[in-house]
Structure 1
Amino acid sequence: MIISVSTITIYTFFDWLIIVKLNLIKVDEAVVNLIIPMVIPWLPLLFLLRARVKLLKLNNKGNRDPATGILMVCWIAIAIPLVISQEYMVTATGKLTRLDYMSQIDYNKPTKYYTVKRFYVAKGLVHLRPVFRVSGKSNSDFNMAIYAPIPVFDHLFPDTNMITVMRNNLNAKGLVIINGKLSNMQVLKRLPADSIRRMRYLNPSLVMPQYGDAGKFGALLVLTRGFKIKSESPPPKIAPAAWLAVKYTKTISNRLTVQEKDQIYRAFATQSETDFRNMRFDRFIYLDRIPYNNDSQNYLDAIKLKGDVVDGFPVVLKPVYDVYSNRNGNKLAWIFGSFGAGAVIFLIILSLIKLRDGDLISILKQQVSGK
């Protein structure tokens, strides 16, 4: 009991302090929450409990090593609640930040969870990246994933709310520039919709140097398809405040042929596209900052794939559609339940096996001396 409680408490505390609270080092979530918790219980068990387990009258004939089997039970009783404890610690101690606008995320100290009042999810600017990998025993599983991070802005992008206002209001004070020449809203409204190649709003700072005070309300720049552009400038890069982490997955047998895998993937991609098109991603209740792991790297690769995003460190958030109070799930019950089950099994083993004959102190001395 002392070894179990001490191991779980000490490791969880240092995980919280170094990784979560102070963020001193960036380590893959799987390493901190799974690999290390699976390894670290063996240290106190081998150095502190193994000698005591050998006080039992065990059948060591042949190649049997019942002491190791008993230690395995103890290891499971510690490792499982230790793994769950790390996940519970992250969700239970994560702070919630309330934002008025999505861009405020850059001006606040990073936290685990967010709520935001005003934002715009630009589904049309989604970045897609398919990822394939094999897993399972003898690579029996073929895993397909489509990473689809969606950029999120403060408002409808790019300035289309201003464009709509100016275009629908004949008395708008902003200038209208069609194919490089001053015009007006009446001319713009007579243009067929399919004749417009590009339309964007220009801030006053870009208009006033050429048009003076007449451009203090900005301008609506319109290029028609019939207008010849001498040099086509590259499209401007986007700078969203954050990205929504959206992913679709499917696992099939790795024993299928390449043609069968390709056919299944095409059907999977079509279904994912339908689900994406029908999903209202703006109806999330809160956002969860994704941890540093393999998924986060795939999201970053998808974001940078097109080369249309300004350089920087994208903030990737997972949309959550459940109430905030349910974020911990049943983790706490699983911690005590798994630990209690392992402890009871260990207790039953101790009750069924007798102690070795003789004085216990003498037996311990014999073990230390190697006899």
Structure 2
Amino acid sequence: MKLEQKNGRDLFNLYVLLAYFAILFPFFLSQKYIRDAVGKLTKLPSINQIDKTHLTKFYHISHIYLDKAHSNIRFVSKISGKNNANLTFTAYVAVPIYEYPIPPPLWASLPTRESTHSDGPLLSNIPLNYFVPKAWLGWQRSLRIRNRQPDAVKDSVFRSFIKETYLNFKNDKIYGFDYLQKAGLSKENENFNLGIRNVYYAKKPIILIPKYNLFEKRGDVYLLCTILSFCIGSIIWFLILIPVKLKEDKLAS
């Protein structure tokens, strides 16, 4: 069956395309809602109780110390957009999480790292499980600029971004989050891992992302956007159908 106007113009493909987009956006948003909403909250007395073999998605940890002084930072640039129009600088900072502050004298007495292991450096004569955190907190900042600028301008912006990132991280108290979400498989998680492996011997580091909204309200924004986008898309699609006059003989065929 073909949907045609009286002038013979075929509208079937147009309406299929509009219906596709009306469904696509709610579907995309619903996946984000499922990603953020599904999962239980695991409450731990300290970070030392985290179980690497039975990891959950969300955590609330009672006793926590963020060792900002020994954080690992990695700067990444990425070109995106139509015709590579955008250039984005991102700072990935992995903050070691301990139960209590590590005594400074022990950190000061650390020997020089030795690359005697194929997977990374080892700290000789020091118990690794004492210094290597059970998990890291993921902190990041981004800046997007136009890519069609002279290299000197982009270099200047990047240097300013580095300075601002260090200042923001230094002044950010970080502790104001409501719960922590374990980072999944993503490019962001990979960048955190690369920064960590430059300093620590950790094959599969656990990255926890701070969340500043109530746990009970997680995903509410995506749920609302999913419902609104579906309603708006459906209304627009049916409104477009109203003024179209179709050939009766084509509809009967």
TM-score computed with the length of structure 1 as normaliser: 0.59
User: Is the Cα contact below 8 Å between 1:58 and 1:353 reproduced in 2?
Assistant: no
In structure 2, how many angstroms separate the alpha carbons of the residues matched to 1:355 and 1:285?
57
Task: Tell which structure's C-alpha radius of gyration is larger.
Answer: 1
Flag as ranges the 4+ runs of structure 1 deviating above 6 A. Answer: none
Query: 2:182 matched to which residue of 1?
Result: 289
SS at match of 1:288: strand
Q: What are the residue-to-residue correspondences of 1:216-227 with 2, within 5 Å?
A: none
User: Is the Cα contact below 8 Å between 1:58 and 1:66 reproduced in 2?
Assistant: no
**Higher RCO, Cα 8 Å, sep 6+:** 2
Query: 2:95 matched to which residue of 1?
Result: 150
User: Is the Cα contact below 8 Å between 2:79 and 2:88 reproduced in 1?
Assistant: yes
User: Is the Cα contact below 8 Å between 2:5 and 2:11 reproduced in 1?
Assistant: no
Assess, with a 3 A threshold, how the Cα gap between structure 1 residues 108 and 284 changes in structure 2: closer, same or farther: farther
Query: 1:245 matched to which residue of 2?
Result: 138
88-97 or 72-81, which moves further after superposition?
Answer: 88-97
State the Cα distance separating 1:97 from its structure 2 match: 0.6
In structure 2, how many angstroms separate the alpha carbons of the residues matched to 1:329 and 1:233?
47
In structure 2, how many angstroms separate the alpha carbons of the residues matched to 1:278 and 1:358?
72
In structure 2, how many angstroms separate the alpha carbons of the residues matched to 1:88 and 1:233?
44
Matched, 1:133 2:26: no
Output the amino acid matched with 1:267. S
Q: Which 5+ residue runs of structure 1 have no aligned equivalent?
A: 1-50, 164-198, 202-221, 224-230, 364-371
Q: What are the residue-to-residue correspondences of 1:166-315 with 2, within 5 Å?
A: 199-200=105-106, 234=114, 235=123, 236=126, 238-304=131-197, 306=198, 308-315=199-206
For 2:5, which of 37, 41, 57 is the aligned residue?
57
State the Cα distance separating 1:59 from its structure 2 match: 4.7
Query: 1:95 matched to which residue of 2?
Result: 40
Alignment: residue pair count: 239
User: Is the Cα contact below 8 Å between 1:125 and 1:151 reproduced in 2?
Assistant: yes
Matched, 1:334 2:240: no
State the Cα distance separating 1:56 from its structure 2 match: 4.6
Matched, 1:317 2:229: no
State the Cα distance separating 1:90 from its structure 2 match: 2.0
State the Cα distance separating 1:265 from its structure 2 match: 1.1
CA deviations on 1:15-62 (whole Å, 9 max, x unpaired) are: xxxxxxxxxxxxxxxxxxxxxxxxxxxxxxxxxxxx5xx24536555x
Output the amino acid matched with 2:40. K
In structure 2, how many angstroms separate the alpha carbons of the residues matched to 1:233 and 1:91?
39
In structure 2, how many angstroms separate the alpha carbons of the residues matched to 1:275 and 1:57?
60
Output the amino acid matched with 1:297. E
Query: 1:80 matched to which residue of 2?
Result: 25
State the Cα distance separating 1:141 from its structure 2 match: 1.0
Matched, 1:105 2:11: no
SS at match of 1:318: strand
Identity of aligned residues (%): 27
In structure 2, how many angstroms separate the alpha carbons of the residues matched to 1:121 and 1:339?
42
TM-score computed with the length of structure 2 as normaliser: 0.85
Larger strand share, 1 or 2: 2
State the Cα distance separating 1:108 from its structure 2 match: 7.0
Assess, with a 3 A threshold, how the Cα gap between structure 1 residues 285 and 77 changes in structure 2: closer, same or farther: same
Assess, with a 3 A threshold, how the Cα gap between structure 1 residues 107 and 128 changes in structure 2: closer, same or farther: closer
User: Is the Cα contact below 8 Å between 1:102 and 1:152 reproduced in 2?
Assistant: yes
CA deviations on 1:195-222 (whole Å, 9 max, x unpaired) are: xxxx439xxxxxxxxxxxxxxxxxxxx9
Q: Which 5+ residue runs of structure 2 have no aligned equivalent?
A: 115-122
Assess, with a 3 A threshold, how the Cα gap between structure 1 residues 100 and 232 changes in structure 2: closer, same or farther: closer
User: Is the Cα contact below 8 Å between 1:122 and 1:152 reproduced in 2?
Assistant: yes
Assess, with a 3 A threshold, how the Cα gap between structure 1 residues 106 and 123 changes in structure 2: closer, same or farther: same
In structure 2, how many angstroms separate the alpha carbons of the residues matched to 1:264 and 1:72?
41
CA deviations on 1:231-260 (whole Å, 9 max, x unpaired) are: 967545542111111111111111221211
CA deviations on 1:93-143 (whole Å, 9 max, x unpaired) are: 221110111122226732221100112211111111110111111111111
In structure 2, how many angstroms separate the alpha carbons of the residues matched to 1:265 and 1:130?
10
Output the amino acid matched with 2:166. E
For 1:355, which of 230, 240, 246 is the aligned residue?
246
State the Cα distance separating 1:330 from its structure 2 match: 2.3
What is the aligned-residue RMSD (CA, Å)?
A: 2.5
In structure 2, how many angstroms separate the alpha carbons of the residues matched to 1:100 and 1:58?
72
136-145 or 279-288, which moves further after superposition?
Answer: 279-288
In structure 2, how many angstroms separate the alpha carbons of the residues matched to 1:149 and 1:141?
26
CA deviations on 1:138-195 (whole Å, 9 max, x unpaired) are: 11111111111111122222xx2xx8xxxxxxxxxxxxxxxxxxxxxxxxxxxxxxxx
